[in-house]
Structure 1
Amino acid sequence: MSAKFRVEGLTKSYGSNVVVDHLDLEMEEGEFLVLLGPSGCGKTTTLRCLAGLETPESGVIDFKGRHVFDSGRRLNVPAHKRDVGMVFQSYALWPNMTVRKNIAYPLKVRKMREALAGGRVEEAAAMVHCEHLLDRYPSQLSGGQQQRIAVARGLVSRPDLVLFDEPLSNLDARLRDTVRTEIHRLHESLGFGAVFVTHDQSEAFALGDRLAIMRAGRMEQVDTPQRVYADPATDYVAEFIGMSNRLELHRGAEGWRTNAGVDIALERDLPDSDAVVARLWPDDLELYRDLASVPSGVVPLEAELLSSEFGGRTYDVTVAAGQEELRLRASSALHGSWLRGAEEGTKVVVGLRPETMKVYPLDAAAAGAEAVARPLVAAS
């Protein structure tokens, strides 16, 4: 089955700065695609090109067999004729309009008179539990209410595609979780296609049918959240999704060794690599008071305590192990009694299990966006 929404060779520059670099992307009807990446990677510019708010230099954008942009044909369908809904980071509600008029605005622009007369505005407000706010003005609403209204406005015309530009970033933590759940519920019930931009991996994992992780205007990995989590394609992806612990390993006469001189047995030979980078989740590391406490099968790394932050059931612990700085979560029940008063520089031991590591060629990790390498060793 061919993709319902397709982008080919999309390029967008600002002066000499190439923000979107010959990007290709496909998604199916009803799919929730998340563009994930740090600031400056091109995700919002890509979204604005889809919406018709930015004009690319080259490429093709196809919505369900209809070209809305084609640089070769000099075709550029204006935003209000693309049948997309847009939910902005800043809400972008008209301050001089009531909630009712804000939600109704896309219907008026598209001249959807039957929808206006048929209660579509009230229906959209009810979907986000804001029907009692229709006669208020934006200044009379909380941030969470304003964002719900923005979502209702994006959905009211029942567009083919809804575009979300970091819609949760201006909300506090509790509201962010609530509105995220609302968006997920609406997508599940209405089945609209969506492209959602965020730099927050927890949002991406919670919402996306697929994640498109961007770097320097290109796609680094496009896959389901489960596969991205289990098998990050590159060192860059592994770090970005939260595998913050990085160990350099170099081949020696007896196998692989860390910069601190600790030997680690990898599961299979890596004949073409003399230096690799290993990535681990904070939860993959274990904290011990001394070497004698480390069980068999766990590789011990002697370290010094840098900091420990109480987080309820766990402490977020940072240690220095040779040249590497490592982060882990330690059980408050097991370690809280001594971590609470431990000083910087306290000698500790960090344990790791080689089977939990993802390993990448060191040169690919350093080469940046030009090198996209598969993991050499996967978790068993």
Structure 2
Amino acid sequence: MTSRFSVSGLVKKYGDNVVVDDLDLPIEEGEFLVLLGPSGCGKTTTLRCLAGLETPQGGSISFKDELIFDAESGVNVPAHRRNIGMVFQSYALWPHMTVRKNIGYPLKVRKMKEALKDGSIEQAARMVDCEGLLDRYPSQLSGGQQQRVAVARGLVSRPDLVLFDEPLSNLDARLRDQVRSQIHQLHQQLGFTAVFVTHDQSEAFALGDRIAIMKAGKIEQYDEPEHVFETPVSEYVAAFIGMSNRIELLRGHDGWRTTKGDAVDLSRALVRGVPDRGTEAAARLRPDDLLLHASTAEAPAGNVVLHAELVDFEYGGRYYDVTVRSGEDTLLLRASAAEHGVTLKKSAPGDQIAVSFDPSALRVYPDQADAAIDTVSQTAKTAVAPVPAKLAS
């Protein structure tokens, strides 16, 4: 595949606030690219610049090797002349139009008369399981049905590029999974080029051929999902993709230790940017990398073992979400209800326990104070997500 869609040196400001900062973004034809990041990182603004809904102050954008925006030469193709499909977070369906007319609206605007007559609307509706809803109005549809109609409208004209602006965030969990699966299947079938904006790591891993993780208007890492998942290039990326557990490490004469004094072997860990003579580092790992033990003697051989105390635990069906504290570090883990349920129900906050992990699960970075890292860490702590099926297979 060739990179026939590209963003080069893009700059977008609101007053003195730089939202997109000298951004380069090659997009391969037929690729499903996900822009991932927290609120305020510039991902939606980048999408709106691609759509022609925002005018950047610098840089260029090209679709299929055709320049559609260039700040230096003054080229700026208006939104209605860019061959794009757009799927919004808020559905954005015309309330006075039937589903049929909503789906067919891009064909009407583009004056694609043959497509209006040749069954393209019915075909698009069929792709998203909405062919039985064509004569209804949006007010007669559920949220999931409305979003599927919005997806059909975005695809009906077979655009060069389909842009998705957090289209699943207004749906409940069950519908979100259903619509996400449908979008993935449609991309597999049709091979359209897409840029999808989300703050949800599970959506990014499930849908993306490549993921661009954004921070302060720049791309922190741009790679395939498997590489992002296994080898995050910075602590910011590690925190955002679910490595919510942070362990502060101190180097002494006998090696690395936690703030509680437990030894940590880094010989099998992925270490990035930690200087040989540095005295502090930050290790990241996922909640499902941690194992819970009644005592240190129960830990598997070769694991790093931490002395800890129980803070809290919450029932989740087949598992418990457990919070422990080890020295200055608060850690989250998911423990099997079948294995640990009886013991946990007899436990109380402050009880002494142990946790352990395989040292190869650690990702280690320079210890830097960063408000953005703290923000994404708090976001990651709101859910203990399992390994995405796409990566587990």
Query: How much has 1:270 moved relative to structure 2?
Result: 5.6
Q: Which runs of 5 or more structure 2 residues have no equivalent in the other structure?
A: 269-273, 374-393
Pairs within 5 Å for 1:163-178 = 163-178=163-178
Query: How much has 1:341 moved relative to structure 2?
Result: 4.0
Cα distance in structure 2, aligned partners of 1:163 and 1:272: 47
1:161 aligns with 2:161: yes
Cα distance in structure 1, aligned partners of 2:371 and 2:257: 22
Kindly provide the amino acid, as one letter, of the partner of residue 185 in structure 1. Answer: Q
Q: Which residue of 2 aligns with 1:375?
A: none
Residue by residue over 1:86-128, the C-alpha shift from the partner in whole angstroms, topping out at 9 and shown as x without a partner, is 0000000010111111111111111111111211111111111
Kindly provide the amino acid, as one letter, of the partner of residue 65 in structure 1. Answer: D
Residue by residue over 1:329-380, the C-alpha shift from the partner in whole angstroms, topping out at 9 and shown as x without a partner, is 11111110021242222221111222221111124x64969xxxxxxxxxxx
Q: Which residue of 1 aligns with 2:322?
A: 317
Q: Tell whether the 8 Å contact from 2:2 to 2:29 is kept in structure 1 after alignment.
A: no
Cα distance in structure 2, aligned partners of 1:221 and 1:323: 29
Pairs within 5 Å for 1:133-212 = 133-212=133-212
Q: Which residue of 2 aligns with 1:267?
A: 267
Residue by residue over 1:28-62, the C-alpha shift from the partner in whole angstroms, topping out at 9 and shown as x without a partner, is 11000000001111111100100001111111000
SS at match of 2:72: helix
Query: How much has 1:2 moved relative to structure 2?
Result: 4.5
1:21 aligns with 2:21: yes
Kindly provide the amino acid, as one letter, of the partner of residue 29 in structure 1. Answer: E
Q: Tell whether the 8 Å contact from 2:265 to 2:304 is kept in structure 1 after alignment.
A: no
Kindly provide the amino acid, as one letter, of the partner of residue 170 in structure 2. Answer: N
Kindly provide the amino acid, as one letter, of the partner of residue 278 in structure 1. Answer: A
Q: Which residue of 2 aligns with 1:357?
A: 362
Quick one: percent identity of the two aligned structures? 65
Q: Which residue of 2 aligns with 1:345?
A: 350
After the TM superposition, which of the residue ranges 213-222 and 342-351 deviates more from structure 2? 342-351
Cα distance in structure 2, aligned partners of 1:297 and 1:270: 25
SS at match of 1:72: coil
Q: Which residue of 1 aligns with 2:244?
A: 244
1:69 aligns with 2:69: yes
TM-score, scaled relative to structure 1: 0.94
After the TM superposition, which of the residue ranges 160-169 and 337-346 deviates more from structure 2? 337-346
Change (3 A) 1:44 1:277: same
Residue by residue over 1:137-175, the C-alpha shift from the partner in whole angstroms, topping out at 9 and shown as x without a partner, is 100000000000000000010001100000000111110
Kindly provide the amino acid, as one letter, of the partner of residue 16 in structure 2. Answer: S
Kindly provide the amino acid, as one letter, of the partner of residue 24 in structure 1. Answer: D
Kindly provide the amino acid, as one letter, of the partner of residue 15 in structure 1. Answer: G
Kindly provide the amino acid, as one letter, of the partner of residue 155 in structure 2. Answer: L
Q: Which residue of 2 aligns with 1:100?
A: 100
Cα distance in structure 2, aligned partners of 1:80 and 1:307: 54
Residue by residue over 1:181-205, the C-alpha shift from the partner in whole angstroms, topping out at 9 and shown as x without a partner, is 1000100000000000011100110
Cα distance in structure 2, aligned partners of 1:40 and 1:27: 22
Cα distance in structure 2, aligned partners of 1:130 and 1:102: 12
Cα distance in structure 1, aligned partners of 2:179 and 2:2: 32
Kindly provide the amino acid, as one letter, of the partner of residue 334 in structure 2. Answer: R
Q: Which residue of 2 aligns with 1:293?
A: 298
1:306 aligns with 2:311: yes
SS at match of 1:308: strand
Cα distance in structure 2, aligned partners of 1:234 and 1:272: 19
Please give the root-mean-square deviation of Cα atoms over the aligned residues, in Å: 1.6
Cα distance in structure 1, aligned partners of 2:121 and 2:6: 30
Cα distance in structure 2, aligned partners of 1:354 and 1:367: 27
Aligned length: 368
SS at match of 2:49: helix
Cα distance in structure 1, aligned partners of 2:70 and 2:349: 59
Query: How much has 1:213 moved relative to structure 2?
Result: 0.4
SS at match of 2:135: coil
Kindly provide the amino acid, as one letter, of the partner of residue 227 in structure 1. Answer: H
After the TM superposition, which of the residue ranges 168-177 and 336-345 deviates more from structure 2? 336-345
Query: How much has 1:214 moved relative to structure 2?
Result: 0.5
Cα distance in structure 1, aligned partners of 2:215 and 2:26: 17
Kindly provide the amino acid, as one letter, of the partner of residue 316 in structure 1. Answer: D
Q: Which residue of 2 aligns with 1:332?
A: 337
Cα distance in structure 2, aligned partners of 1:91 and 1:270: 49
SS at match of 1:73: coil
Query: How much has 1:273 moved relative to structure 2?
Result: 2.6
Q: Which residue of 2 aligns with 1:378?
A: none
Q: Which residue of 2 aligns with 1:44?
A: 44
SS at match of 1:267: coil
Cα distance in structure 2, aligned partners of 1:265 and 1:95: 61
Query: How much has 1:303 moved relative to structure 2?
Result: 1.3
